[in-house]
Each structure stands twice: as structure tokens, then as C-alpha cells.
Structure 1
């Protein structure tokens, strides 16, 4: 009986010693952490995890220590520590963190993310710093290590990339944000359309603008973006289909009218090419029909460009649009003269001369505004020579 009692008592001492040992070790880690002896604390944690990896609390402690180490470094030196922090969070969850521990993880994760994200915003707003976008990128990238699905950080990182002339990175970052977003947010689709247009990829620009196209007439930014994408892609008809109702909806928008008039000229130019073909093929009736169509389309283009200029007479862009329109259309009529029927040549020549006079008038206005602009002087010289032929 005595021996049996002694054995049981010894076992009890051993069990108590085991628990005492673990408690002491955990206390030592907390003490080392409080003292700032992070490397020793991490070494102790790694030793315990190698024996038993299923200890969520140790992973959380490891995450806290790496977070503290990150804060002690410069922003560009924090990535490795944040990576360790994020991985420790994931392992704590994987090994069954309880509700209280999950709450601690969420709290620390949010705290670290806000620290870096807000620092990025603050740097971005510092207009005096020449490297503000590079510094902001570092902060946003740090924030995304902690929360890879943080859409606001991804969007701001994309802006920083764009302002650093890294359009490809801006696109990649924004497309990643789109993966985490719900219901295809219009602002991101619009920005992607713009970025692809800037990159010179009108097909992809059109794709994103059309995805955002829920109410084009109610969103001029999307409307202009989609029109520009169509124009860049050479889809004049599609651009006109959008521009016509927009001009009706916003009759006082000078920019819309200017773009509309310019695209109507593109159609007019194509019709003039058809007219030359009809003359060359000796198609009398067809030539008459096309000539009438060309004059009508040209008049509509002219009207839209004039209406744009009327609404903003200080804008030299609209003034130049008219000068270029009259100059180019005059050249088209002079080109048609070479193949036109004899009976049509006088009328065509008169039309060309009228257009030349208008072109001269507007180039003279431009030359008065910018007397040092040699291009305007050269245009005037050429137009005067055409008048004297």
C-alpha cells in the first residue's frame, strides 16, 4: 500500500513540475518582451514551437514582437517584420485561436494597417516633399502586407504609382483592388479605363468604360472616357452615337460640342474620299448624291465647332479647331477638283475658296494671340498661296 501511494505521489509531483515549467517559460517570454529583449523572446518562442507548434498564443506573441520590431525601423525596412507578423496571425488562426485570441489578432491587425495607411496618406499630402509618392508607396505596401484585401490602400497605392509614372503598376494594383471589391465599383472601372487609355490600349479602356457605363449621360467623366476610347480605337461611328445624345443633354458644354464637331469632320472627310471615287468611276448620280451628303455633314461639323467657340471664346483650342477644320476641308475640296466633272468644278472651287478665307480668318486670330508661333504664320502663307492660284 505504501509503495503504491509513493508512486502516485511522485507522478503528481512530476505533473505539477511540468505545468510549473511551462508557466515559468511563458512568463519569461512576457518579461523578455516587456524588457525589449525581442531576439531572446523570439528564440524562446521558436524553441517551444518546435516542440509543439499548436500554440496560438505563442504565434500572437511572435506577431506582437515582430510588429514592435517593425515600428523601430524606417518604413522601407519594415516589410520582413510585417511579413512575419502576418504569417504568425495566420498560423495562430490555423492552430485554433479562441474567440478572445481572434479578437486580439483583429485588433492588432487593424492597428498596424491604420498606422501604415494613414502614414501613406499623410506623406501624400506633403506638397513640399519631392519624393512623397515613393515614400507613400512604401507605407501603402506595408499596410497591404498586414491587410492584402484593403481596397483603400490598393487604390491609394495605384495613385502613387501613377504619379510616379508607373502606369503598368498602377493598372496591376487597381485590378487587384477590383478583385476584392463588390459589384464592380464605377470609380475603379472608370480609373482603369483612363489608365489603359493613357497606356495606349483603347480596347481595354473601352472594356472598362463600358463596364462602368450604367448611366453615361449622368456621368460625364465616363462619357468622355468612353468617347476618347472609341476615338483612339478609330471607332468614329460609336463615338458619334454617344456624342449626339450627350450634346442634346448638355447643350452648353463647349468641350462636348468641340469633340462632336471634330468627329463629324472625320465622317465628312471619309465622304469626300467617296466623292473622289465616284468622280473617278464616272458615277454621275452617285457623285451628286455624295456631294450633297458631304456638304450637309460638313455644315453640321462647322456648326458644332462654332457653337463650342461661342460658349468659350477665350479658349484657343476651340479657335484652333475651327482653323484646322476650314483648312483641312478646303484641302479636301481642292483634291476633289482634280477628278471632278467639268460642270462641277466652278462650284467646288468656290466652296474651297470660301473655306480658305475662313481658315485664314481664324489663323490670323491665332497669330494675333501667339505672334511667335511659326506654325500659324506658315499656315497663313500657304493659304494665301492657294488663294492666288
Structure 2
């Protein structure tokens, strides 16, 4: 008769909730030794793992309080817990303190910028990143981070613009069936919404130009940064998409043709940057997928087919 292998240790009771047991264990450890920074630190992490970010934040606050000089990661973790809780004000305070101690921490500065953005403090978000650049103006990563932050703000505006163009298409279609005073009222609504959209577009264009400028500066210091080239491609491709929406919402055929050509110019610029990105990283399927989209829109079907194959589509 063969030897039977034991499955598990039947003398040890099964633990159904290991994280709860771990929390209890480290809470007891802190009670026994309240000055143990390691125990409190691990307790914060276990709370995070269990999804209890409020308790994780309480524990992490104690870690920072007890350390004579908290590490950058300590501020980073505490801010992350508050961000998970949606408490942007507390996250902001933690990150301001952290960046004062560690002004060159990209992670802390970027989190602070994101926190400002979540509170619609866009000027503060850009300002804190520009301060980071002041510490090392030739650092390509800093310019890349700033460009991304600026573009994220522009992209939020672009989403509103996109919704407005959808509304304009519907309003124009409905106005064709109206007459008299109702038609005049509809046309006034269309005019007002179009002017509002134009103002938003101007605002977004200023930000997009700034983002592109920062990306170009980043590439001056690191000409082989495929991420910067790819981001430039994304910025230009998305601008083209916005112009195509504007074209579709334009009733004047001549103006629509002009807008269409502007969109294609942005697409060609996107194509150039995507092509530079794949020159550096030819195995990146995301880059090829983006090229496939641009080639297809520009009617370059042979290149689109080749890009599709390399994208694994």
C-alpha cells in the first residue's frame, strides 16, 4: 500500500479571513509596543490591502508623526490613502508638506498636481510642476510630466467641446424642420452654443500648444524618448478628432472643407511622431495600432495594412 500524502496541516485551524487576522495581530503588536514604527507601518499596509483606507491613513499619520524625518514614500502612501477616500484637501496638505521636504520627488509633485486638478485648481497644478522644472531645467522627465498634466486639463475641455458639437449637429438638424419664430429661436440657440464652443476651443488650443512645447523641450534633452514622441502623436491625433467633429457640425461646406484639411494636417503630424516612436521601439503594438488608425483615416491603405499586421490585429 502506498504512502498517502497529507494535504495541508489538519492540526491547524483554517483561517477564513487572513487579512482580518493580520490586522488583529498587528493591532495587538502596537498595543504591546506603541512606539514600534515598523508594526504601525505594516498595520497601515494591511489596512490598505483590506480596502480600509481610513484606518490605513490613521496608522500612516502615526508613522509620519513618530519618524524624525519621514521618507518620501511615507508622504506618498498617506496621500494615496486620502485620495482613495476622495479627501483631496487632506491629500493636498500631506503632499504640500512632502514636497517641501522632498522638492525633487516626481511622484509627490505629480500627485500634488493631480490633487490640485481634481479640485479644479488647474493653475496651481501647472505652477507646482513648473517649480519642479526650476530645480532641474534640463531634466526631460520633468518636461514630459508637465506636458501630460497640461494636456489632461486640455482634454477635459475637449470632452466638453465634443458634447457641444454633438448638440450642434442635433440642433442644426432640428432647425431645418422649423420656420418662423421657432426657427429664429433655434438659430439663436445654435449661435450661442457655437460661440461658447469656440471660446472653449481657444482655451484648449492654448493649453495644447503649451503641452506640445513642453514635449518638444523634453525631446531636445532626450531625443530617443519614444514616450514623448508617442504622446505628441496622441495630442495631434486627438486635436484632429476634435476638428473632424467641428467639421461635422459645420453647415458651411467651404468652411467644412477648410476644417477637414486642418484636421488632416494634425493627423500627418501625429503620423510623423508615431513613426518616430516605432523607429525607437518597433515591437510596441500600441504604437503600430495608433499608426494604423492614422494611416486609415488618411487613406494610406497599404501602410495601414502593414501597420495592422505589426499591431497584431
TM-score, normalised with respect to structure 1: 0.50
Query: What is residue 265 of structure 1 aligned with on the other side?
Result: 151
TM-fit CA distance, 1:280: 4.2
**What residue is the counterpart of 2:108 in the other structure?**
222
CA deviation string 1:113-148 (max 9, x = no partner)? xxxxxxxxxxxxxxxxxxxxxxx9999666534321
Q: Residue 256 in 1 paired to residue 124 in 2?
A: no
Residue 317 of structure 1 pairs with residue 227 of structure 2? yes
* 1:223-255 CA distance string (max 9 Å, x none): 222123334566544422322333344322333
Q: Is the 2:106–2:142 contact (alpha carbons within 8 Å) kept by the matching residues of 1?
A: no
Alpha-carbon distance change, 167 to 280 in structure 1, aligned in 2, over 3 angstroms:
same
Partner deviation per Cα, 1:333-385 (whole Å, 9 max, x = no partner): 11111234746445433321121112222333444524462x44443333223
Q: How does 1:174-323 map to 2 (within 5 A)?
A: 174-177=60-63, 181=66, 188-197=74-83, 199=84, 201=86, 203=88, 204-212=90-98, 214=100, 217=103, 220-231=106-117, 236-269=122-155, 270=157, 273=161, 280-281=190-191, 293-323=203-233
1:336 to 246, 253, 258: 246
Deviation string 1:239-287 (CA, Å, 9 cap, x unpaired) is 2232233334432233332232223224434268299579942689877
Verify: 1:356 aligned to 2:244, yes or no.
Answer: no
* Contact 2:161-2:201 at 8 Å conserved across structures: no
Q: Relative to 1, partners in 2 of residues 1:255 and 1:356: Cα closer, same or farther, differing over 3 Å?
A: same
3-state secondary structure, aligned to 2:34: coil
Any gaps of 5 or more consecutive residues in structure 2? 1-21, 169-187, 301-313
Q: Whose RCO is larger (CA < 8 A, sep 6+)?
A: 2
Gaps of 5+ in 1: 1-135
Structure 2 CA distance, aligned partners of 1:248 and 1:348? 38
Give the structure with higher Rg (CA).
1
> Within 5 Å, which residues of 2 pair with 1:96-107?
none
Contact 2:278–2:287 (8 Å) recurs in 1:
yes
C-alpha separation in 1, matches of 2:91 and 2:248? 41
Query: Do 1:367 and 1:376's aligned partners in 2 also have CA atoms closer than 8 Å?
Result: yes
| TM-score computed with the length of structure 2 as normaliser | 0.60
**Partner SS, residue 137 of structure 2:** coil
Confirm or deny that 1:385 pairs with 2:271.
no
Offset at residue 207 of structure 1 (A): 4.4
**Kindly tell me: are residues 220 and 381 of structure 1, through their superposed partners in 2, closer, same or farther at Cα, counting changes over 3 Å?**
closer
Q: Deviations 1:272-328 (Å, cap 9, x if unpaired)?
A: 829957994268987776665544432221111222234334444333222211111
Partner of 1:55: none
- 1:148 aligned counterpart, secondary structure: coil
Aligned length in residues: 254
Change beyond 3 A, Cα 1:365–1:230:
same
1:57-76 equivalence runs, <5 A = none
Tell me how large the CA RMSD over aligned residues is: 4.6
Measured in 1, the distance between the counterparts of 2:268 and 2:87 equals 37
